[in-house]
């Protein structure tokens, strides 16, 4: 079930491929931020927000059509654990949207964007596991039920929707139960649409073990879900995952995988090398994903504006 009223559907009417941005944390670290912290990039929202705006601007200039906000790990509970009030936490969560919107408007005002859609702001709604900051988004099996997940996500999702985001990016989910909880909350905001993306442990199953085809089949019947797919997943699994999803859904498919390194939740560091070279190599893989049905493509952890530029180069030839 697909509609033409959500911003993703409207943009895809005139453009064969929408480009999602790349890693925010990687670029913040390159600018000197220490993100070895349970709040991760959400800490930068409070300390040096202009760096976040600059990273968004760099990705727009590289070719991104969609900026994912810095709210992935920005939760009311997480900020309050650092001594902030609920009001202060909500202000920072709202700020994540305004920073991306400001960067989008600054970029658009630069001109010279013939053939490109006006960029969208996707408000990141990270999983419960991101709040736990223990790598649970790659495992699932939380010690919380679906009703608890609905309660956890409700206030942040409401703040992001009210902040003026174009779409919600419900991302890095390890389980179908959490996706169902988010859809339940989403129904309370009938004017909002969202994409749902999972982490996957292989070419057929999301992190908690549910077949990706089962997830796609369920999400296909949810009218507010604008796109579905995977993110923060190894490059090698993407072609198979796309094939599994495309067989059971007519919604746009979205992929934004990692560069190929593996995250160590204990040390909060990345291990191993990349599966492909940055830049042209990433664009070549994007061409394969597009051929398998992906219509929104970007990068997740450890990807860079160079990778996004390579996807833009591929799109230019479509």
Q: How confident is the model at residue 34 (pLDDT cuts 50, 70, 90)?
A: confident
Q: What is the pLDDT of residues 38-72, one digit of tens each?
A: 676 777 898 899 999 999 999 999 999 999 999 99
Average per-residue pLDDT in the chain?
A: 91
299 pLDDT exceeds 50? yes
Whether residue 1 is contained in a domain is answered as: no
Q: Taking residues 224-228, what's their average pLDDT? A: 98
158 pLDDT exceeds 50? yes
Binding site per annotation, positions for Zn(2+)? 232, 300-301
Domain membership of residue 190 as a residue range = 7-316
Q: What is the pLDDT of residue 50?
A: 95
How far, in Å, are 21, 111, 239 from residue 61 at the CA level?
10, 11, 28
Q: What is the pLDDT of residue 3?
A: 45
Q: How confident is the model at residue 32 (pLDDT cuts 50, 70, 90)?
A: confident
For residues 3 and 142, the model is more confident at 142
Q: What is the pLDDT of residues 66-76, one digit of tens each?
A: 999 999 988 99
Q: Taking residues 240-254, what's their average pLDDT? A: 98
Q: In this structure, what CATH number is given to the domain that contains residue 80?
A: 3.20.20.330
Q: What is the pLDDT of residue 40?
A: 65
Among 2-11, 112-121, 299-308, the range scoring the smallest mean pLDDT is 2-11
Residue 267: Cβ within 10 Å count: 9
| pLDDT winner (highest mean) among 83-87, 177-181, 234-238 | 177-181
Contact 185, 224 (CB under 8 A): no
Whether residue 97 is contained in a domain is answered as: yes
5 pLDDT exceeds 60? yes
Return d(Cα 282, Cα 275) in angstroms, integer: 9
Return d(Cα 121, Cα 198) in angstroms, integer: 20
Return d(Cα 270, Cα 234) in angstroms, integer: 13
256 pLDDT exceeds 60? yes
318 pLDDT exceeds 50? yes
290 pLDDT exceeds 70? yes
Return d(Cα 311, Cα 281) in angstroms, integer: 10
Q: Taking residues 167-196, what's their average pLDDT? A: 98
Q: What is the pLDDT of residue 39?
A: 72
Binding site per annotation, positions? 232, 300-301
Q: What is the pLDDT of residue 38?
A: 65
Q: How confident is the model at residue 273 (pLDDT cuts 50, 70, 90)?
A: very low
Q: Record the tokens describing residue 35, joined without a space.
A: 């993100």
Q: What is the pLDDT of residue 2?
A: 44
How many domains is the chain partitioned into structurally? 1
Number of residues written out for the chain: 318
CA 318 from centroid of its chain's CA atoms: 24
Q: Is 249 helix (H, G, I), strand (E, B) or coil?
A: coil
Whether residue 160 is contained in a domain is answered as: yes
> What stretches of 95-152 adopt beta strand conformation (E)?
120-125
Contact 237, 199 (CB under 8 A): no
């Amino acid at each position: 079930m697909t509609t033409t009223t959500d911003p993703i559907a409207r943009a895809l009417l005139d453009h064969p491929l929408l480009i999602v941005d790349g890693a925010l944390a990687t670029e913040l670290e390159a600018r000197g931020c220490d993100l070895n912290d349970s709040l991760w990039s959400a800490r930068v929202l409070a300390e040096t927000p202009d760096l976040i705006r600059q990273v968004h601007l760099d990705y727009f200039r590289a070719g991104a059509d969609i900026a994912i906000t810095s709210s992935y790990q920005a939760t009311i509970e997480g900020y309050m654990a650092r001594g902030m009030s609920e009001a202060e936490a909500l202000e920072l969560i709202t700020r994540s949207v305004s920073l991306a919107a400001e960067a989008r408007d600054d970029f658009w005002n630069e001109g010279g964007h013939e053939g490109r859609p006006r960029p969208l702001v996707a408000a990141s709604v990270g999983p419960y596991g991101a709040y736990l900051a223990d790598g649970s988004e790659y495992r699932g099996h939380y010690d919380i039920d679906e009703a608890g997940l609905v309660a956890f996500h409700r206030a942040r999702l409401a703040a992001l929707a009210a902040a003026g985001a174009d779409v919600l990016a419900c991302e890095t989910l390890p389980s179908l139960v959490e996706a169902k909880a988010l859809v339940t909350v989403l129904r309370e905001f009938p004017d909002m649409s969202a994409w749902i993306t999972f982490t996957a442990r292989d070419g057929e199953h999301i992190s908690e073990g549910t077949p990706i085809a089962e997830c796609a089949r369920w999400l296909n019947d949810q009218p507010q879900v604008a796109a579905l797919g995977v993110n923060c997943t190894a490059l090698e699994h993407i072609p198979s995952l796309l094939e599994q999803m495309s067989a059971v859904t007519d919604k746009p498919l979205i992929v934004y995988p990692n560069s190929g390194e593996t995250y160590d939740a204990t040390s909060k560091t990345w291990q191993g090398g990349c599966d492909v070279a940055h830049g042209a190599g990433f664009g070549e893989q994007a061409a394969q994903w597009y051929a398998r049905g992906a219509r929104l493509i970007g990068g997740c952890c450890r990807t860079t504006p160079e990778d996004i530029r390579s996807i833009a180069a591929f799109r230019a030839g479509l």
